[in-house]
Protein backbone atom coordinates (compact mmCIF):
# COMPACT_ATOMS: atom_id res chain seq x y z
CA UNK A 1 0.00 0.00 0.00
CA UNK A 2 1.32 3.43 -0.94
CA UNK A 3 1.50 6.23 1.57
CA UNK A 4 0.69 9.82 0.68
CA UNK A 5 4.42 10.48 0.61
CA UNK A 6 4.99 7.67 -1.89
CA UNK A 7 2.22 8.96 -4.12
CA UNK A 8 3.56 12.50 -4.06
CA UNK A 9 7.12 11.34 -4.77
CA UNK A 10 5.83 9.28 -7.67
CA UNK A 11 4.02 12.33 -9.04
CA UNK A 12 7.20 14.39 -8.75
CA UNK A 13 9.05 11.80 -10.83
CA UNK A 14 6.84 12.69 -13.82
CA UNK A 15 7.59 16.41 -13.65
CA UNK A 16 10.14 18.08 -15.88
CA UNK A 17 13.66 17.81 -14.50
CA UNK A 18 13.81 21.52 -13.63
CA UNK A 19 10.79 21.21 -11.34
CA UNK A 20 11.70 17.93 -9.62
CA UNK A 21 14.37 19.34 -7.31
CA UNK A 22 12.19 22.23 -6.14
CA UNK A 23 9.11 20.05 -5.61
CA UNK A 24 11.12 17.41 -3.76
CA UNK A 25 12.59 20.09 -1.50
CA UNK A 26 9.10 21.51 -0.81
CA UNK A 27 7.76 18.05 -0.03
CA UNK A 28 10.53 17.31 2.48
CA UNK A 29 9.96 20.69 4.12
CA UNK A 30 6.30 19.75 4.58
CA UNK A 31 7.23 16.34 6.00
CA UNK A 32 9.68 17.85 8.48
CA UNK A 33 7.21 20.52 9.51
CA UNK A 34 4.46 17.94 10.01
CA UNK A 35 6.76 15.75 12.12
CA UNK A 36 7.90 18.74 14.19
CA UNK A 37 4.30 19.81 14.89
CA UNK A 38 3.33 16.28 15.88
CA UNK A 39 6.34 16.03 18.19
CA UNK A 40 5.45 19.35 19.83
CA UNK A 41 1.83 18.27 20.34
CA UNK A 42 2.82 14.98 21.99
CA UNK A 43 3.59 16.85 25.21
CA UNK A 44 -0.08 17.78 25.68
CA UNK A 45 -2.79 15.46 26.90
CA UNK A 46 -5.26 15.80 24.06
CA UNK A 47 -8.06 14.17 26.03
CA UNK A 48 -7.94 17.07 28.49
CA UNK A 49 -8.02 19.66 25.73
CA UNK A 50 -10.85 18.20 23.66
CA UNK A 51 -14.28 19.69 24.28
CA UNK A 52 -16.63 17.37 26.11
CA UNK A 53 -20.26 18.46 25.59
CA UNK A 54 -21.28 16.91 28.92
CA UNK A 55 -18.56 18.79 30.78
CA UNK A 56 -18.13 22.00 28.75
CA UNK A 57 -21.54 23.61 28.39
From residue 9, alpha-carbon distances to 38, 40, 57 in Å are 22, 26, 46
What pLDDT does residue 24 have?
A: 93
Q: Which helix (H) or strand (E) holds 51?
A: none
> What global pTM score does this model have?
0.62
Residue 1 pLDDT exceeds 70 = no
- Per-residue model confidence as pLDDT tens digits over 2-55: 788 889 999 999 999 989 999 999 999 999 999 999 888 888 777 667 777 777
What pLDDT is recorded for position 57?
63
**CA 31/CA 48 separation, integer angstroms:** 27
pLDDT for the residue numbered 48: 67
Amino acid sequence: MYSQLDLRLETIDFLPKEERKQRTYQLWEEVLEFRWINKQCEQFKVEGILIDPARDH
